[in-house]
Amino acid sequence: MSDAAIHPTAIVGQHARIGKGVKIGPYCIVGDKVILHDDVELVSHVVIDGNTEVGAGTRIFPFASVGLEPQDRKYHGENSRLVIGERCVIRESATLNPGTDGGGMLTKIGNDCLIMASAHVAHDAIIGNNVIMANYVGIAGHCQVGDNVIFGGNCVVHQFTRVGAHAFIGAHSMVDGDVIPYGMAVGNRAVLTGLNLVGLKRRKFDREAIHKLRAAYRMIFASEGTLRERVEDAAELFKGNALVQDVVAFIAAASDRPILLPRNGPTLD
């Protein structure tokens, strides 16, 4: 840690691995098993402990609690891990917990994520790349969140829930069922309110592909037949559309999990 800038009030474990260009600000505490890759910055008053690895260029703001034992009564001190990707921003008072023996021993945050103030990522959650969690978002244990998902403020996500890539979850939502890729959900309890068309356009998805996804959405969430039948029909009709196939594969991957549905049939803004 020869070129790391460590404030004299910080406490850094003797065996912590500190990369080049790391900045550790006032009153931070870094545990013995922690790995901070190059150019990580702990602004001040950050506590990082446990078997925690932080990717290059990530910045962590005051009073964040990172890698301390999970809030799970089944946890008994197992040497589980928390891995945070590169270039993430973790804001004030966020809490991120490691995994447990009952969930794969790993909590993982992807690259380029923004986790805002007082957000929480629980044990064994797997978070994709470019995910944004606004203030006070709570991700419960064992959840899986795909790439490019955005959560509005004060959302909570029930344990074991999956949120597909490019989904948008509106503020103050309580999500207790899986959200399809490209979907948009809102409410307490949350319901599917359509597709995240704004996000699809911002990310420059092909217009014709979006048009076909909208048609498939209407088919999948129509009232005729069973959901399984409608999904199979959409898979066959839109064989060449990658967006539709993402949705089909997502639904088929966990048929024992509840899928969020529209309250009054399919709606598209």
State both tokens at 222: 């129509």
Taking the CA atoms of residue 114, residue 111, residue 95 and residue 107 in that order, the dihedral angle to the nearest 10 degrees is 150
Question: Is 31 in the active site?
Answer: no
- Strand pairing partners for 150? 132, 168
Spatial distance between the Cα atoms of 63 and 40, rounded to a whole number of angstroms: 16
Question: Is 102 in the active site?
Answer: no
Check 124, 146, 158, 166 and give the catalytic one: 124
Spatial distance between the Cα atoms of 141 and 182, rounded to a whole number of angstroms: 23
- The pair phi, psi for residue 72, each rounded to 5°, is -140, 120
Check 138, 141, 164, 194 and give the catalytic one: 141
- Which one-letter DSSP state was computed for residue 229? H
Distances, alpha carbon 128 to alpha carbons 122, 143, 146, 190, 232, in Å? 14, 11, 5, 21, 27
Spatial distance between the Cα atoms of 109 and 106, rounded to a whole number of angstroms: 10
Element (H, E) at 107: strand 106-109
Question: Is 124 in the active site?
Answer: yes
Side chain identity at 114, as an amino acid letter? Answer: L
Check 45, 123, 142, 166 and give the catalytic one: 123
Residues known to be catalytic? 123-124, 141
